[in-house]
């Protein structure tokens, strides 16, 4: 039985690999673009380029070009000026769909009622707006997989992870809408989705069309990650998509009441009710994931994809 999914993407380096993985693991019905990583026009171009490069035949829907409150900044220093490591690419020949991403999410939730999964690896603006336009989508969407939030090691502020920081209002709306949600937070991805120098060299040695793509789009990300965050490039979106496909990657998880701070110096912070003071729960959180299984899946796709 196929599994049907939309990937919601602020398409830059790791997002492009997440798109590739999603196309292999799911029947990918669409890529919806949302404001986040880099200039919006570059996100659209990167998504179209990825679809064209891998001949995916997946429609690209343009969504919100700003967060709900419009307070954010792009991070070209992480992903390169064009979002894909300053790789010089040709203009894609394909074009995005005319239908807005929010309307596409609502429509596809009706066409694939009870089967549609959302791979939400970016700020949650599109999904929040879809819910506000049609709250009944909660009953129709099977699962929402979120890459977002940090326990204490924020990658954008001392406490906030980028996706939740860009649009905390959207995150708060989605988390409290009633969806079946699993969150893969930043710290989990640091531990399980870091590509070390040795692994990077192995990817280079694969010398396939897909591995060449991986190296090119993630070059700036790797440099930034090594400078500020660890021993190699970190791939949270790709890990989240892989966990969504194969839940056996989840080594430890818990179910909690989760909220997101929307103001002050802590804007974008993920608030986890560890001791269940609220007597309610709205999301599962992946606390530990299997890095080796993730690496095995990634390498397999990079080897197989011509």
**In the chain, where the domains are located:** 4-304
Whether the pLDDT of residue 188 is over 80: the answer is: yes
**Angstrom distance (rounded) from CA 10 to CA 15:** 7
Residues 46 and 11: beta-carbon distance below 8 Å: yes
pLDDT at res. 228: 84
- In 3D space, the residue among 14, 3, 56, 1 whose CA is nearest the CA of residue 31 turns out to be 56
- pLDDT bucket at 1, cuts 50 / 70 / 90: confident
Residues 167 and 205: beta-carbon distance below 8 Å: no
- pLDDT bucket at 299, cuts 50 / 70 / 90: very high
**Angstrom distance (rounded) from CA 163 to CA 178:** 20
- SS3 label, residue 176: coil
Q: Both tokens of residue 157? A: 């502020």
pLDDT at res. 81: 97
pLDDT at res. 306: 55
pLDDT at res. 305: 72
pTM comes to 0.97
pLDDT at res. 70: 85
State how far the alpha carbon of 121 is from the alpha carbons of 33, 205, 305, in Å. 11, 28, 22
Q: Which CATH architecture has domain 4-304?
A: Alpha-Beta Complex (3.90)
- In 3D space, the residue among 162, 175, 165, 186 whose CA is nearest the CA of residue 71 turns out to be 165
Q: Is 134 exposed, middle or buried (0-12, 13-18, 19+ CB in 10 A)?
A: middle
Torsion of CA 88, 77, 94, 133, to 10 degrees: 180
| pLDDT > 90 in the chain, percent | 96
């Amino acid at each position: 039985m196929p599994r049907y999914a939309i990937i919601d993407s602020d398409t830059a380096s790791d997002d492009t690999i997440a798109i590739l993985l999603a196309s292999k693991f799911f029947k990918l019905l669409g890529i919806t673009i949302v404001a986040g990583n880099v200039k919006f026009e570059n996100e659209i171009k990167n998504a179209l380029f990825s679809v064209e490069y891998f001949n995916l035949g997946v429609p690209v829907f343009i969504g919100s070009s700003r967060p709900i409150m419009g307070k954010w900044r792009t991070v070209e220093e992480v992903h390169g000026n064009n979002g894909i490591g300053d790789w010089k690419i040709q203009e894609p020949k394909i074009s995005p769909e005319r239908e807005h991403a929010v309307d596409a999410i609502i429509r596809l939730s009706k066409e694939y009622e009870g089967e549609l999964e959302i791979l939400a690896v970016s700020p949650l603006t599109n999904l929040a707006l879809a819910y506000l336009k049609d709250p009944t989508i909660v009953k129709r969407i099977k699962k929402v997989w979120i890459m977002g939030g940090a326990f204490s090691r924020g990658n954008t502020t001392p406490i906030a992870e980028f996706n939740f920081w860009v649009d905390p209002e959207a995150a708060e709306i989605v988390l409290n809408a009633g969806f079946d949600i699993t969150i893969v937070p930043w710290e989990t991805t640091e531990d399980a989705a870091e590509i070390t120098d040795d692994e990077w060299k192995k990817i280079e040695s694969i010398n396939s069309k897909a591995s060449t793509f991986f190296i090119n789009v993630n070059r700036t990300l790797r440099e930034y990650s090594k400078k500020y965050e660890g021993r190699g490039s970190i791939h949270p979106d790709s890990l989240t998509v892989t966990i969504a496909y194969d839940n056996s990657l989840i080594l430890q998880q818990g179910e909690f009441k989760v909220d997101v701070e929307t103001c002050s110096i802590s804007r974008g912070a993920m608030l986890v009710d560890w001791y269940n003071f609220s007597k309610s729960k709205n999301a599962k959180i992946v606390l530990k994931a299997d890095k080796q299984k993730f690496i095995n899946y990634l390498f397999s796709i990079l080897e197989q994809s011509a």
